[in-house]
Amino acid sequence: MDKRVGLVAFLAASTVCAALVSLLFGAREMGFGATLGAVRDGIVLAFSGGAERLEASSDEAKIIAQLRVPRTLLGLLVGAALGTAGALLQGHTRNPLADTNLLGVGPGAALAVAAAISFHGSMTVLGTVGVGFLGAILAVALVFTLSMRSLGSSPIMVVLGGSALGAVCSALTSGIVLTNTQSLNEMRFWTAGAIAGRDMQVVAVLAPVILLGLVGAFAMANRVNLLNLGDDVASALGVSVPLSRAVGIVLVALLTGAAVAGAGPIGFVGLVVPHLLRAFTGPDYRWVLPCSALAGATLLLLADVIGRVIARPGELQVGITLAFVGAPFALYLLRKGAKL
């Protein structure tokens, strides 16, 4: 049996286990026996709803239904989106250190949220998600348009354009936040990256977008393999290089924009996961992409659980926990001589 099939099975099982752990453990301690029953009741309650059923449920079931189920589902979606987007971007740029933050998605979303809070005042979670997604998509659209017109179709140029726009957006966001107290109070948690405090409504809004992006990315796997052979070879094999790159960047923007809108700018998942998995899958993106989705979801959920458990009765945002994992790994890559 191909060892990559075994890897997919292992990652799928790990994702299921991570989801179960996310439901079982949190900032509030519960008895293990009571928690198992509450998980079953909480999952049913989260999807069936109903005020009467909610009122009649135990406190543990309410916590799982209202807090942990949406948090776990969002973690699965965001982790899969970031892992897949990172792998897709690395494939299109032929750069194993490319990261989705280089497209200006996070800074664009942050600027949109900060501006909306400054002009509109306090917003709901769903409103923040919508504004953040709009800002992320507009940022990537601007980067892509300027790069295609001024710098050519090279994905490296798109990344350079995204880095420049990201710096501008970050500066503008800092200016807004420092001159507006309300923006500062609301932005300081959002920019840390977190999947807490979201409900099923947010999950329902983001799930179709992320699932569409995942399907599109998996469908592009063979084209990414051909693009990695070189532009001339890919063209000779019938691939439209500019169109394929454009579609790839759009899919990266879709996945990253939805993830950032739902959880804030979470780093390192798109960098660490694909780079690590290629040691097991090889360069074939028909395996790299789905494995990155599963591993990204698992990593993000486990990091979130660690952040909940180690800081009881409070918690660390998942973006902070992942930074402790991702930063040493990035330094390790540099020490090994990885080059941009």
Three-class secondary structure assignment of the chain: CCHHHHHHHHHHHHHHHHHHHHHHCCCCCCCHHHHHHHHHHHHHHHHHCCHHHHHHCCHHHHHHHHHHHHHHHHHHHHHHHHHHHHHHHHHHHCCCCCCHHHHCHHHHHHHHHHHHHHHHCCCCHHHHHHHHHHHHHHHHHHHHHHHHHHHCCCHHHHHHHHHHHHHHHHHHHHHHHHHCHHHHHHHHHHCCCCCCCCCHHHHHHHHHHHHHHHHHHHHCHHHHHHHCCCHHHHHHCCCCHHHHHHHHHHHHHHHHHHHHHHHCCCCCHHHHHHHHHHHHHCCCHHHHHHHHHHHHHHHHHHHHHHHHHHCCCCCCCHHHHHHHHHHHHHHHHHHCCCCC
Instruction: Find out whether 79 and 300 touch, Cβ atoms under 8 Å.
Output: yes
pLDDT band at 292 (very low <50, low <70, confident <90, very high): very high
Instruction: Find out whether 109 and 136 touch, Cβ atoms under 8 Å.
Output: yes
pLDDT of residue 285: 94
User: Comparing 236 with 148, which gets the higher pLDDT?
Assistant: 236
CATH code assigned at 263: 1.10.3470.10
pLDDT of residue 53: 60
pLDDT tens, residue by residue, 168-226: 998 998 888 888 776 677 777 777 788 988 888 889 989 999 999 999 999 999 999 99
Asked whether the predicted pLDDT for residue 59 surpasses 80, the reply is no
pLDDT tens, residue by residue, 111-144: 888 888 888 776 777 788 888 888 888 888 888 7
Q: Domain for residue 10, yes or no?
A: yes
Q: Domain for residue 311, yes or no?
A: yes
Instruction: Find out whether 224 and 241 touch, Cβ atoms under 8 Å.
Output: no
pLDDT of residue 162: 83
The torsion angle over the Cα atoms of residues 71, 123, 178 and 191, rounded to 10 degrees, is 20
pLDDT of residue 142: 86
For residue 270, the tally of other CB atoms under 10 A from its CB is 31
Instruction: Find out whether 325 and 303 touch, Cβ atoms under 8 Å.
Output: yes
The number of domains in the chain is 1
For residue 337, the tally of other CB atoms under 10 A from its CB is 6
Q: Domain for residue 340, yes or no?
A: no
pLDDT of residue 62: 75
162 lies in which domain range? Answer: 3-335
Q: Domain for residue 223, yes or no?
A: yes
d(Cα 144, Cα 148) in Å, to the nearest integer?
6
pLDDT of residue 72: 94
